[in-house]
Amino acid sequence: MQATSFTYHTKIRDVFAEMSQVVVGQDRLLNRLLIGLFTGGHILLEGVPGLAKTLTINTLAKVLELDFQRIQFTPDLLPADLIGTMIFNQKTADFEVKQGPIFANLILADEVNRSPAKVQAALLEAMQERQVTIGDETFILDRPFLVLATQNPVEQEGTYPLPEAQVDRFMMKVFVDYLSKDDELEVMRRMSNMNFDYEVRPVLDKDDLVAIRNEINGITISETLERYIIELVFATRRPMEYNLRDEARYIQFGVSPRASINLNLAAKALAYFDRRDYVLPEDIKEVAPDVFNHRIMLNYEAEADGVTTLQVIDSILRKVAIGR
């Protein structure tokens, strides 16, 4: 790894420090957001309202000097409201392209399951192709381009759940939980001070992000651990072959090939954050739940028995051996 990597490690620590001036108790969320940003993966966030998801992403955009757009998904939203449309200019008597909010570096798709399928499809196409077509013109989206979509697990009435095949386009699904008592006390103290208005300073820019991505790409992973990732993936598809008899009763579909790719990338990013140029088994095990939890489909028997996807993943991680 190049010597400059130490400079970026210091800057990454500065990102966490600067973020902590505004956001309290969301280090794990920030870690996952940076993994997605540095490796080109999109993130699906799930958590109850009021857990600073929007504040975290908005603050991160300022710290990284990136353009940020928040899009509130509603039942009446149209694809044109997302990607843009053609408008008629009376002065020139011609049609012009008016770009939509998708033209930014960080996109917060708030409550993405509140809009119908055609709007979700427009977003997911932009995520996959990193380009949009308006009229007969195709526009390449700026890099980096990261979509952070939120879902509210509390209210399901009047929503349009993302199809399983579309959810697979997200690198990770991150559950955002309640803060600890001490962290919530600190949040209360800050936000009840009506004079609190901390302006964060930029720490990284777009050129830094490209350099960090290149350095993460140079992290090595042994063939043993590459095969371990494949074994974990196949354990979700053919659990009986791995003596996962209880889990086999509950798994309807295992993870897709995107899971192995994204697990490899996320593990490399974790190793980089820990100032290592090689991946450890612990890196894979730490991010596997985030990479797998939206890709494993459980059956009705699992729902009836109160078995969750995270419980199934935990069993797989405990029972599938390295170097099997």
- What's the predicted TM-score (pTM) here? 0.89
Is pLDDT larger for residue 199 or for residue 279? Answer: 279
Give the pLDDT band of residue 156 (cuts 50, 70, 90). low
Per-residue pLDDT at 282: 96
Geometric angle at alpha carbon 221, from 174 and 218, rounded to 5°: 90
Give the pLDDT band of residue 4 (cuts 50, 70, 90). very low
At 56-74, the pLDDT tens digits run 888 899 999 999 999 999 8
Alpha helix segments (H runs only) across the chain: 4-20, 27-39, 53-63, 79-83, 117-129, 164-167, 181-191, 206-217, 223-237, 245-248, 257-273, 281-292, 300-305, 309-319
At 81-90, the pLDDT tens digits run 999 887 877 7
Per-residue pLDDT at 262: 96
Give the pLDDT band of residue 324 (cuts 50, 70, 90). low
Q: Is the C-alpha dihedral spanning 234, 240, 244, 247 positive or negative?
A: positive
Average pLDDT over residues 125-134: 87
Q: DSSP string covering 205-244, please?
A: -HHHHHHHHHHHHT-B--HHHHHHHHHHHHHHH-GGGGT-
At 178-193, the pLDDT tens digits run 888 998 898 888 878 8
- What do you get for the CA distance between the two ends of the chain, in Å? 30
Per-residue pLDDT at 296: 93
Residue 247, amino acid: E
Per-residue pLDDT at 221: 95
Walk me through the domains of the chain, giving residue ranges and CATH numbers.
7-207 (3.40.50.300), 220-319 (1.10.8.80)
Per-residue pLDDT at 254: 92
Per-residue pLDDT at 1: 42
Q: Which residues contact 167 (CB under 8 A, 6 or more apart)?
A: 44, 173, 294, 295
**Cα 52 to Cα 105: distance, rounded to the nearest angstrom:** 20
Residue % of the chain over a pLDDT of 90: 44
Per-residue pLDDT at 2: 45
Q: How confident is the prediction for the chain on average, in pLDDT? A: 88
Give the count of alpha carbons within 13 A of 256, CB side only. 13
Give the count of alpha carbons within 13 A of 280, CB side only. 10
Which range, 44-48, 157-161, 288-292, is most confident? 288-292
Grouping H, G, I as helix, E, B as strand and the rest as coil, residue 168 is coil
Residue % of the chain over a pLDDT of 70: 95
At 87-115, the pLDDT tens digits run 877 777 787 888 889 999 999 998 888 88
